[in-house]
Structure 1
Amino acid sequence: MDYKDYYKILGIEKTATTEQIKKAYRKLARQYHPDVNPNDATSEQKFKEINEANEVLSDPDKRQKYDQFGADYQRYEQTGAGGAGRGPGGFDWSQYAQGGGQGGFGGGGSPFGGEGSDDFSDFFSSMFGGMGGGAGGRSTRPGAGQDYQADLELTLEEAYHGGPRTITVQGKNLRLTIQPGVADGQTIRLRDQGGPGRNGGPSGSLLITLRILPDARYVRTGDDLTQDVPVSLYRALLGGSQTVETLSGSVKITIKPESVNGTRLRLRGKGFPVYRQEGKFGDLYLRLNVQLPQHLTDQEKDLIKQLAQLRGEEI
């Protein structure tokens, strides 16, 4: 049976603090949780290994015993397993025994002798007995509850203004406040709103992914917005002022004479609010969409012909 490097499984150094171990465990547990990776046998196995590593390294007594064994493991490989808990080199493994053995790990003189469980490896069971609460028993150590996942749809205008929202998860209505400027795909964490903890451990979190619906008026790029503005042919040719509706209210813009179709105007600070930076906004870009007149009268056609003749064009 292979030695398990619990530090490597959690991706931490052997000098890691209790807080670093906890942080690494939570990150990996969320990544490989079966609810996040349904029907994925590889992720399920990885999740079990992560829990096993945390079970050992988060317990000072288990960690000390494991570190001591790790230091002696190379010597075990060199001497092999002998009878009565001793290898050929005379090394006594009984100091690592955890019940049910005659010296060594679970009997047979080898530090890898016991039976594993569904959640913990034979290696763990041999060293610590069963599932961490004594031989064959379930762990009584506190454990964090399961994180829940949910989506929340917002219109672009709701994302712009923010404000209170209510979401129903697991039959429970939860009220939250959306901060102005949130982005599509952004995740909000509500602590202690997930599954209940085990054996007095903390509850999990509710992870809410925001889905911002497409808007027919605006295209959002970061904190900037782009908006198409219809402009009559006459105003585009002669210039003038025009009122435009924005997410922050009405704005009067000035259109220069002889503005061509597709001309862009920039309104500073009229874009999307910058997330968690009060008073800061992106820009709004207006793209002029020149409208050709429709349903011309005979008189209008005559006037356009006169204009064409003045410009030296044959019609």
Structure 2
Amino acid sequence: FGEEGLKGNDGGAGFVYRDANELFSQFFRGFSRRGPFASNFGGDPFGEFLRPGGGGDRTAFSGRFNLQPSVVKIDLDCSLEELYNGKTKRMKIGRTNIQSQRPREKIIQIEIKPGWKANTRITFRGDGNEVRPGVFQDILFVIRERRHPHFVREGSNLTYTHTVDLAEALTGFDVNICMLDGTTLTVKLNEVVNPNFTKIIPGKGMPYSKRPGHYGDLYIRFNVVFPRRLEPDQKKAIRAAFNRSKEKSNY
């Protein structure tokens, strides 16, 4: 399936060792003049270091375990074809533990389900760095949908815009659309197509991720290109054609 390396990991290093003498030195420097066992919280000499939001040199003590977030969020780019058909992605990540700060490679396999949407979240529990002894970060992948050159997704529906000239719009034409599964959809249009016309093809949109076998709809919109100028004989022929059509409609 190919491996994709991840960059921009929010985690950073896992744990920083400190010398015991240095810790105690910083610990006692944090005491106030009221006495060696006094603190801003009362008589608890450890309060400033172990309570969230405490003062003193807390970051040099227990705060060292909390430098990293508990969850690492990583954007996972997917094409519209991948979100239509489904795909298995193998992601290579580097993770550290407390005993060794050297990252170790780990392969995470992600099963992209047909019909998943942007902002779909997939969590891998405990596959990140070790932030405290025996406690590892979670890795959260967030689906990001890449822009498609031909289709626009709106929920489970797809919109496709087709450009036609005025002659085709008036006389009929075929639309051949290369679909996301690699097949070609041919749509025959015999009706007059105006610039606001939309053709709806049921069941040709995106699959529903929670309803296997069910699909949204395909909306075909048309961009009718008008000629910039017409020759006098062309205008005359068009008027004659419309006049004949008007006469027939009166019968």
Deviations 1:107-153 (A, max 9, x none): 99xx9521214232699xxxxxxxxxxxxx98xxxxxx933221111
Q: 1:285 to 1:310 in 2, by over 3 A?
A: closer
Deviation at 1:278, TM superposition (A): 1.4
CA deviations 1:19-52 (Å, max 9, x no partner) are xxxxxxxxxxxxxxxx79xxxxxxxxxxxxxxxx
Cα pair distance change 1:274/1:122, threshold 3 Å: closer
The SS at the match of 2:233 is helix
Match runs of 1:1-315 below 5 Å: 112-115=42-45, 116-120=47-51, 146-170=70-94, 171-196=105-130, 198-201=132-135, 203-248=136-181, 249-292=183-226, 302-311=233-242
Compare the two structures and name the one with the higher strand fraction: 2
Question: What percentage of aligned pairs have identical amino acids?
Answer: 26
Contact kept? 2:80, 2:180, Cα under 8 Å: no
**What is the aligned length?**
185
- TM (norm. structure 1) is 0.50
Alpha-carbon distance in structure 1 between the residues aligned to 2:143 and 2:84: 13
Q: 1:225/1:117 Cα in 2 relative to 1: closer, same or farther (>3 Å)?
A: same
Alpha-carbon RMSD across the aligned residues, in angstroms, is 3.5
Measure the CA separation in 2 of the matches of 1:275 and 1:259: 34
Contact 2:86 2:114 in 1 (8 A): yes
- Structure 1's unaligned 5+ residue stretches are 1-34, 37-106, 124-136, 139-144
Shift of 1:245: 2.4
**Bigger RCO of structures 1 and 2 (CA < 8 A, at least 6 apart):** 2
What TM-score do you get using the length of structure 2 for normalisation?
0.61
Q: Per-residue deviation at 1:211?
A: 1.3
Structure 1 276/310 Cα, relative in aligned 2: closer, same or farther at 3 Å?
Answer: closer
Q: Hey, which of these two has a bigger chunk of helix by percent?
A: 1
What SS is found at the alignment partner of 2:82?
helix
Partner Cα separation in structure 2 for residue 257 and residue 190 of structure 1: 53
